[in-house]
Amino acid sequence: EAQVTQNPRYLITVTGKKLTVTCSQNMNHEYMSWYRQDPGLGLRQIYYSMNVEVTDKGDVPEGYKVSRKEKRNFPLILESPSPNQTSLYFCASREVGTGANEQFFGPGTRLTVL
């Protein structure tokens, strides 16, 4: 089954404790992206990657890191989480081309930083 998976689905942590949220897709997509969803703010892009070893900042990259060492994986790293990073996080992937290029979303990771 074609899908985007994220782990963990739920995470409660404390300020300053480094964490990684993994994202993996099995569709051989070049493009992957991380978003955060907050009430009243919709989805905001954190980082995206057009291909292996190519990453770029989105609209709200502060406090986050990513890496793209393999095509299928795009982990989101919070080196020193803070309470304002409490949010619902989504990973997405799509093909790169001239068509509609539907983005496929993972199920989300709900992060709480105390």
Partner 1 sequence: GEDVEQSLFLSVREGDSSVINCTYTDSSSTYLYWYKQEPGAGLQLLTYIFSNMDMKQDQRLTVLLNKKDKHLSLRIADTQTGDSAIYFCAESINYGGSQGNLIFGKGTKLSVKP
**Does residue number 34 form part of the binding site for partner 1 (CB under 8 A)?**
no
d(CA 91, CA 69): 16
Q: Which of 13, 67, 108, 112 binds partner 1 (CB under 8 A)?
A: 108
**CA-CA distances (angstroms) from residue 82 to 47, 87, 103?**
18, 11, 29
Binding to partner 1 (CB under 8 A) within 88-107 occurs at 90, 92, 94, 96, 100-103, 105-107
39 or 62: CB nearest partner 1: 39
d(CA 26, CA 34): 16
Contact 32, 24 (CB under 8 A): no
- For binding to partner 1 (CB under 8 A), which residues are involved? 4, 31, 33, 35, 40-45, 48, 56, 58, 90, 92, 94, 96, 100-103, 105-108
